[in-house]
Structure 1
Amino acid sequence: MTAPEAGDAGPDDVSPGAAQQPPPPRRDPHPDAGPDPDEERTQEARAAQRELFAHTPDFILGDGTGFGGSLVGGSQHGVSGGQVDGDVYLGGRTEIHHHGPAATAQDASGEIPHKRLEALAEVFAEGPAFASALERLRDERVLVLCGAHATGRNAAAVMLLHRLGVSTVHALSPETPPATLSAQLTRPGGHVLRDLPLSRNRPLRDTHLFAARDQLRKADGYLVVTVENSPHLPGVTPCPWVPPGARDVVRALLARHRPDDVDALLALEPVTGFLAAPDRRPAEAAAFADSLATYDGGAQALARLADFGQAAVEKQCRDWLSDPATGLRDKAFLLSLAVFDQAPYVLAAELADKLFVHFQRLQHPEQPSEIPVFGPAPEDRLALARAEGELRDEQTEWGAVPQFMSRFRDERTPRVLLTEVWTGHPSARPALVEWLRQLARDGRPLVRTRAAAATALLAAADLPSTMALLVDGWARSRAFGPRVTAANTLTLALLLDLPVVLRLLTQWCSDSHPGRRWTAIRALGLLAPLRPDLAGPALGALAARARVDASSPAEYANLTESAALLLSGGPGRRRAEVLAEFVRLLYLDTPAVRDLALAAFVRACDNDEDGGLVGWYSETGMYEADAARDLATLWRTALNGHTHTRPALDALRVWVYVAGRRADTALALELLLPALVVTADDRKRLDHTLRTMRAEDGGPRPAPADRLLTVLHPVTAR
């Protein structure tokens, strides 16, 4: 079931989280200060968190797709390792890729031509991690190579197999499900599975690799799987890919195309400046080398080389905005594309025209605004923006649909362009503000999230103005959508080196306006996966609000869900620290805070997703003595709490259902159950719950319940 759309509130809708555990009635001390949360439809916090992660652009998260590379139809076009494969030209022209529907996994697999392997071997730069990865592959037969986009991990995977001396290298379809991986490994030689997509619902587990290794031994084969840096690798120890240096990549490619001029070309001023910059990715270096190989000694060629630097990006953005020859509609498109970078082109074009209307009204208020029905072709608009488009699948709530996606070739452009218009052209602010307010009211989650991401960038450039003109108004809105946008904005702003935002959120938790309180509470709950180091301070701020003991029922539900999210995300060590903080709140704080801690803990336990508390405890927590003790303490206290017993028992049933699907959860419950039995009443309560529970489909008692009864009554259980 999908989460409800975050639009304007409806009086009869109820948050799913609030429906599961009705909070005790509380009075709102400021009933007229803003929205009435009790009469408003809200969005369940976990759904809001998934929406935020799904639509936040790479220029915020910092792991962009890089120069010249994109996964298209199962192939890595652009640059991979030391090879230039396909067109990665970064000049002023449009690149549009059209691809047909994907084939089946079996049909999409095949042998990589030997000539292609030899061509790649001629220019491949190994990098510091290659030798150790090769040894590990030789010993283990299967290797998971992880790294960021455009770091050459796919070329490295192919070269690892080639240097191993296998006779052939077979490329497997990236759509191959991890559970059926071993069935694809029946042929001898090498196999490469590039850019395997992983998610909570589609992890790559150690059991999948065990089965693959057994099959590879039988077939005398080897396998390399490449993935992005991902948390969805339970039990797997991936091999981190460390890319080669930019100078090595550039030299290797120049040696192939212009072997007599390598040293002279590397001595050019734009080249030394480019190579001096830190963290150049192989794809970026290879694209630069491709342009450098065409250098003819002229001034224009030298200028093209200089365009690869940050200064060139900044200059280009200034020129776009200040050049009178660039029309208002073109400028509106550039700014819209910056907000909707790597999103459907039609979305950027549609909303660019809305921004164009605001610009017209600002510059010519005496004239009626109008938008030409027909305008430039997408190719021309993208050429102006130094952008490119490609047809690829976009994930929706109904499945994958093909969309023509557009993006700037230089991943730094969106951030530079938005910052430049906000700080360098303050006269444009009224139009931008009205446009972003319009986006915040849009019914599409992608649009609202991108509005929040853009506003977070503006806040990083000028926080006081952005708060006054946008964020504070959204937070105080009676409508739900703008307040979600405010919460997302402040959450994302913390990723942009704005530590003052945490202080602001802490203050807003106790603000007199319920809209500000709601916004701060929601934002604090979204922090855990993005900034796990702030989970402790966030929990402290939520606890401070709970001490006031004057929340409305909906605000209390918001507090509970946000606190629960702090337990449902982040790495294992951080999650154990938050768990310990929850235990501390049980003993060292007020009854209201104790009530919040238990309600949030039960809410977190009720989440059966892979990234939830049950998944973490099954994979990691039960092996850590302190974490296991703290979890047992919270379970035992919740089960014995007068207002929390029933929802805690419901959550325990969820864990039993998960145990029917996961062996590690079954073991975790068997180890946990004895710690929950201190008194005879504890035993009776658990015995009744396990004996009376039914399967998820209403059938007979599930098998894990029978096993737990045996643990509860070692001799008498039947």
Structure 2
Amino acid sequence: MTTDQPYEQGEPSPRQETREPASDEGERPPSPPEEHDEFDEGLLDQNATVINNFFADVDAGGATFGAGGRRSSRAAVGRLPATDVAASLRGFIEPPAWARAVAVLREQHVLVLCGREESGRWTGAVAALDAMGLDGDGIWMYSPSTSLAELNAGQRFQARHGYLLHDWIEATGDVSVRRFELETLARKVAEARAYLVITVRAMKGRRPFDKVQIDWEPPNPGALFDARLAGVAPPERERDALARLRLHAEKLVAPGPVTALAERVAQGTETPSRILADVEDEVVAGWFGREDLKRADVLAVCAVAFAHGAPERVFEQLLADLVATWDQFGADKGLDVRRQDDERLPQTRALWSGGHPLINVVVDTDAGFGGERRVVFRGEHYRAQVIAALARHYGYELWQPLRQWIRGLADADIEVQFQAAVGVALLVRADPAEVKESFLDEWAAGRMFERLAAANVLALLSMEDDFAPIALDLALSWVRDAGQERAMTAAIAFGNGIWIRYPTDALKWLWFLALRGVRVSVVARRSLMLLFRQAAEHGEAVAALTMLARLAGEEVDGAVGTRRTRTALAAVTDILTAACLSDPGVPLPTQLLSTHPESAAPLGVLWAGCLASNHHRVAAVRALKISLTALRGRAETIAAVAALGAAVWRALPPEWHPIVERDLRRALSGPDDGTAALPARDLVNALLAAGVRRSS
């Protein structure tokens, strides 16, 4: 292993996939998407900003997302430092299978933990590896899509180091083949005196890896709650509330929500009584158990659950649409949709603003919203509880029109659309099959707004450690023989929240999709460019650029002039000409050279590839000129520009040196291309001098 960067892992290569058959597009580069695609690059940017803000507030995400599990905005691949390992294991409680799991790992050097979602497999795997007394800083984590064959072929394991393949996306095919691959891998790991843990979802009675497979169950939730609160002593008046919180934790079962609840108590910013009032579902359960509950009440609560925080004026219309959808469904099915007087929706806003036990109206004083009244739930966790109750108490006659209405929210403004995605993501806990079949697969095969909604659901699932692998698996399923629309949805999803958790997978598969047919390629290229603009904001761009340089080099090497190479270089040019996400007036390369001088090396390789192409050289020269011009007055960047020049000339084939130098001197010394400003002379000299020194 040569690097700690997640972009450098040995991962499944999209190049091994069956490529799309050649079309009649000939040598033409990708053209703009057809009008019916409703492609909107500005919408992708706006949506990315929403997702970035959501991930930035991940620690307080329970107020909006409310799922109660372990949320994270860190990459789910790469090095998990020893400090993070220790934090993850604070208060760890040994579950029933613990002793057997540790024994298997110590003896066989490979352990497969098999269990359902939210059973604590990730923490159990980390704890088992930590129990081996590892050397080095932390544990190396692989992407769920990493195959056993790739680990056998390309991974070098180091003695007394730990490796984790969490929620492995098990390959299809002959079980005996996978068993053989694991046995081979186990010998390799044991010979290296390393340790590897693989976690998989429940296998429904199958035991293909019987020798090293352990069926995993969560620890006792009450004991886990106590362990996390060791040393915390609330005031005497709060003891009863704390005891009731412990009882609530025991009902949660899953370690993630139990830990989140205990840590909320331990922070001390809220009293146990306040937390109890928020998380106990007695209010929600009591409301749904009322005998006088009317259709109007239920539909209003449904509307808040999937359009949470909508401005009151917007909410009124959305609720009216839901009522109309329900009425039309009933009429189509021959149901009696006549309403009694007390079933009519109120002509005023009294239904949700008159002391409703679940619904509240708040005034948003944020200047961006102009102090609008917004319809929300009274408790932070009510939203998740309401959605779970709807799934538990109601069947086809409510859910069929509700599905239709929710799917239609994809056409609403981006704020409402995003909240619909949050609601659907919360529904995953109650009914994952329903979400996939009724929402994600439908949206993913739909129009642009629907595809964006599906991608947002995957981004939200990516926030939770327990569901991030499922989001990745869904996106991969849309790449493989699922149609162009779903492939485009996968492209949007990879450039959305998935890239934050699985950067290597996202970049590789976006590159693969960018080289497919025109419609898919256009969306993938825009999503790829958006990935880099976001990566620059998160400080991850250098590793991503290094990987892109390698991918582009593999594609272009020895295949100059084909449609695929033109498309590949066009995708690179997109990135070299991109603007910053937070400041569209600043070129992305300018920002990188200013803030991360080490980006000069991969940027130089990418620029060299485009400069050596007759088809892309003009755009590459112009992009270089614009980026250098934006660096005027920044003397501290001269070294980075010199490094950029050295990388360009080093990567550029010698026969191209005279042509490229001529074009660069012409462009950088005069506004022949219509650009008014020119780069500073010292920057031009620094760039060109590297080529002169190399030529001499």
Both structures adopt the same fold (TM-score exceeding 0.5)? yes
SS in 2 for 1:387: strand
Show the counterpart of 1:566. 531
Task: Give runs of aligned pairs for residues 626-641 of structure 1, distance below 5 A.
Answer: 627-641=599-613
Question: Which of 557, 582, 596 is residue 621 of structure 1 equivalent to?
Answer: 596
Deviations 1:610-636 (A, max 9, x none): 55743652354314xxx4322211111
Letter in 2 for 1:706: R
Query: Residues of 2 paired with 1:247 and 1:331: CA distance?
Result: 42
Show the counterpart of 1:50. 46
Would you say 1:687 and 2:665 are equivalent positions? yes
Show the counterpart of 1:523. 493
- Kindly report the root-mean-square deviation, in angstroms, between the aligned alpha carbons of the 2 structures: 4.2
Query: Residues of 2 paired with 1:390 and 1:248: CA distance?
Result: 39
Offset at residue 430 of structure 1 (A): 0.2
Query: Residues of 2 paired with 1:448 and 1:373: CA distance?
Result: 26
Query: Residues of 1 paired with 2:59 and 2:338: CA distance?
Result: 43
Query: Residues of 1 paired with 2:328 and 2:477: CA distance?
Result: 37
Offset at residue 320 of structure 1 (A): 3.2
Task: Give runs of aligned pairs for residues 270-281 of structure 1, distance below 5 A.
Answer: 270=244, 277-280=261-264
Distance 1:607 1:544, change over 3 A: closer
Query: Residues of 2 paired with 1:382 and 1:661: CA distance?
Result: 60
Offset at residue 475 of structure 1 (A): 2.7
Show the counterpart of 2:548. 582
Show the counterpart of 1:513. 483
SS in 1 for 2:356: helix
Task: Give runs of aligned pairs for residues 88-99 of structure 1, distance below 5 A.
Answer: none
Query: Residues of 2 paired with 1:588 and 1:461: CA distance?
Result: 44
Deviations 1:354-391 (A, max 9, x none): 22333445567333689646134376356332535124
Query: Residues of 2 paired with 1:516 and 1:578: CA distance?
Result: 25
Task: Give runs of aligned pairs for residues 123-138 of structure 1, distance below 5 A.
Answer: none
Query: Residues of 2 paired with 1:488 and 1:684: CA distance?
Result: 47
Would you say 1:489 and 2:460 are equivalent positions? no
Query: Residues of 2 paired with 1:383 and 1:663: CA distance?
Result: 62
Show the counterpart of 2:356. 383
Deviations 1:270-326 (A, max 9, x none): 37769994221799844556x6xxxxxxxxxxxxx8534x3x23x433333343422
SS in 1 for 2:308: coil
Deviations 1:56-92 (A, max 9, x none): 9969974437789xxxxxxxxxxxxxxxxxxxxxxxx
SS in 2 for 1:607: coil
Give the conservation status (yes or no) of the 8 Å contact 2:622–2:673.
no
Show the counterpart of 2:438. 469
Question: Which of 645, 650, 672 is residue 673 of structure 1 equivalent to?
Answer: 645
Show the counterpart of 2:70. none
Offset at residue 570 of structure 1 (A): 3.2
Offset at residue 494 of structure 1 (A): 2.9
Question: Which of 405, 411, 418 is residue 449 of structure 1 equivalent to?
Answer: 418
Question: Which of 454, 458, 462 is residue 427 of structure 2 equivalent to?
Answer: 458
Query: Residues of 2 paired with 1:250 and 1:345: CA distance?
Result: 43
Give the conservation status (yes or no) of the 8 Å contact 2:358–2:379.
no
Letter in 1 for 2:411: R
Distance 1:452 1:518, change over 3 A: same
Question: Which of 668, 682, 685 is residue 707 of structure 1 equivalent to?
Answer: 682
Give the conservation status (yes or no) of the 8 Å contact 1:270–1:306.
yes
Would you say 1:393 and 2:366 are equivalent positions? yes
Distance 1:426 1:271, change over 3 A: closer
Question: Which of 601, 609, 614 is residue 580 of structure 2 equivalent to?
Answer: 609
Distance 1:660 1:460, change over 3 A: farther
Show structure 1 runs of 5+ residues with no match. Answer: 1-24, 30-35, 69-244, 252-261, 292-304
Show the counterpart of 1:8. none
Task: Give runs of aligned pairs for residues 648-663 of structure 1, distance below 5 A.
Answer: 648-660=620-632
Show the counterpart of 2:391. 422
Show the counterpart of 1:645. 617
Letter in 2 for 1:329: A
Would you say 1:538 and 2:506 are equivalent positions? yes
Letter in 2 for 1:270: R
Query: Residues of 1 paired with 2:416 and 2:633: CA distance?
Result: 37
Offset at residue 26 of structure 1 (A): 5.7
Distance 1:498 1:562, change over 3 A: same
Offset at residue 560 of structure 1 (A): 1.4
Query: Residues of 2 paired with 1:346 and 1:250: CA distance?
Result: 46
Query: Residues of 2 paired with 1:325 and 1:41: CA distance?
Result: 47
SS in 1 for 2:348: coil
Distance 1:367 1:67, change over 3 A: closer
Query: Residues of 1 paired with 2:56 and 2:328: CA distance?
Result: 31
Give the conservation status (yes or no) of the 8 Å contact 1:608–1:655.
no
Query: Residues of 2 paired with 1:633 and 1:522: CA distance?
Result: 26
Show the counterpart of 1:130. none
Letter in 2 for 1:39: E
Give the conservation status (yes or no) of the 8 Å contact 1:343–1:405.
yes
TM-score calculated relative to the size of structure 1:
0.56
Give the conservation status (yes or no) of the 8 Å contact 2:33–2:522.
no
Task: Give runs of aligned pairs for residues 24-103 of structure 1, distance below 5 A.
Answer: 27=24, 37-40=33-36, 42-45=38-41, 47-54=43-50, 62-64=58-60
Query: Residues of 2 paired with 1:441 and 1:491: CA distance?
Result: 19
Would you say 1:413 and 2:409 are equivalent positions? no
Offset at residue 473 of structure 1 (A): 2.5
Letter in 1 for 2:575: A
Moved more, 488-497 or 591-600: 591-600
Give the conservation status (yes or no) of the 8 Å contact 2:425–2:457.
yes
Query: Residues of 1 paired with 2:630 and 2:482: CA distance?
Result: 42
Show the counterpart of 1:330. 297
Offset at residue 339 of structure 1 (A): 2.5
Deviations 1:209-249 (A, max 9, x none): xxxxxxxxxxxxxxxxxxxxxxxxxxxxxxxxxxxx99999
Give the conservation status (yes or no) of the 8 Å contact 1:487–1:523.
yes
Show the counterpart of 2:324. 357
Offset at residue 436 of structure 1 (A): 1.0
SS in 2 for 1:429: helix
Task: Give runs of aligned pairs for residues 271-350 of structure 1, distance below 5 A.
Answer: 277-280=261-264, 285-286=269-270, 288=272, 306-308=276-278, 310=279, 312-313=280-281, 315-350=282-317
Distance 1:543 1:675, change over 3 A: closer
Query: Residues of 1 paired with 2:324 and 2:437: CA distance?
Result: 23
TM-score calculated relative to the size of structure 2:
0.58
Letter in 1 for 2:264: R
Query: Residues of 1 paired with 2:514 and 2:55: CA distance?
Result: 35
Deviations 1:555-608 (A, max 9, x none): 322221122223222376643332222122134347566545433332122222
Show the counterpart of 1:7. none
Offset at residue 437 of structure 1 (A): 2.1
Query: Residues of 1 paired with 2:665 and 2:462: CA distance?
Result: 47
Query: Residues of 2 paired with 1:576 and 1:41: CA distance?
Result: 33
Alignment length, in residue pairs? 468
Query: Residues of 2 paired with 1:557 and 1:375: CA distance?
Result: 47
